[in-house]
Structure 1
Amino acid sequence: MNSHFPAHATPIKLYRHPKSGHCHRVELMMALLDLPYETIDLDVPNGEHKTPEFLAISPFGQVPAIDDNGVTLSDSNAILIYLVTSYPTGHDWLPEHPETAAEVQRWLSVAAGEIAHGPCAARLVTVFDAPLDHEGTKAASHRLFAVMEPILESRDFLAGSTITIADVAGYSYIAHAPEGGVGLDAYPSIRAWLTRIEVQPGFVGMVRTPLSEPS
Structure 2
Amino acid sequence: MKLYHFALSGHAHRARLFMSLLGIPHEVVDVDLRSGAHKTPEFLSLNPFGQVPVLDDDGTIVCDSNAILVYLATKLGRTDWLPQDAKGAATVQRWLSVAAGDLAFGPAAARLITVFGAKFNPDDVIARAHVLLKRLDAHLADRDFLVGAQPTIADVALYSYLSSAPEGNVDLSAYPRVNAFLRRIEALPGFVPFAKTRAGLAAAA
TM-score normalised by the chain length of structure 1: 0.91
Calculate percent identity across the aligned residue pairs.
52
Residue 33 of structure 1 is matched in structure 2 by: 22
Moved over 6 A (4+): none
Residue 5 of structure 1 is matched in structure 2 by: none
**Take 1:193 and 1:132, find their aligned partners in 2: how far apart are those partners?**
28
> Greater shift after overlay, 108-117 or 56-65?
56-65
Q: Does 1:174 align with 2:162?
A: yes
2:109 partner amino acid: A
Residue 131 of structure 1 is matched in structure 2 by: 119
Residue 44 of structure 1 is matched in structure 2 by: 33
1:183 partner amino acid: D
Please report how far the alpha carbon of residue 88 of structure 1 lies from its aligned counterpart in structure 2 after TM superposition: 3.2
Q: Paired residue for 1:74, among 59, 63, 69?
A: 63
Please report how far the alpha carbon of residue 203 of structure 1 lies from its aligned counterpart in structure 2 after TM superposition: 0.4
Q: Does 1:152 align with 2:149?
A: no
**Take 2:87 and 2:75, find their aligned partners in 1: how far apart are those partners?**
23
Structure 1 alignment gaps of length 5 or more: 1-11
1:167 partner amino acid: D
What SS does structure 2 have at the residue aligned with 1:39? Answer: strand
1:177-192 pair list within 5 angstroms: 177-192=165-180
Q: Does 1:88 align with 2:77?
A: yes
Residue 42 of structure 2 is matched in structure 1 by: 53
Please report how far the alpha carbon of residue 17 of structure 1 lies from its aligned counterpart in structure 2 after TM superposition: 1.3
Please report how far the alpha carbon of residue 59 of structure 1 lies from its aligned counterpart in structure 2 after TM superposition: 1.9
Q: Paired residue for 2:87, among 96, 99, 102?
A: 99
**Take 1:102 and 1:72, find their aligned partners in 2: how far apart are those partners?**
25
**Take 2:132 and 2:186, find their aligned partners in 1: how far apart are those partners?**
21
Distance 1:44 1:211, change over 3 A: closer
1:163 partner amino acid: P
Residue 117 of structure 1 is matched in structure 2 by: 105
TM-score normalised by the chain length of structure 2: 0.95
**Take 2:61 and 2:89, find their aligned partners in 1: how far apart are those partners?**
25
Residue 9 of structure 1 is matched in structure 2 by: none
Q: Spell out, residue by residue over 1:163-208, the C-alpha distance to the aligned partner (whole angstroms, 9 max, x if none).
A: 0000000000001100111011100000111111111110001110
Residue 8 of structure 1 is matched in structure 2 by: none
- Cα RMSD after superposing both structures: 1.2
Q: Spell out, residue by residue over 1:51-103, the C-alpha distance to the aligned partner (whole angstroms, 9 max, x if none).
A: 111111112111110111111111000000011111235x6111012222111
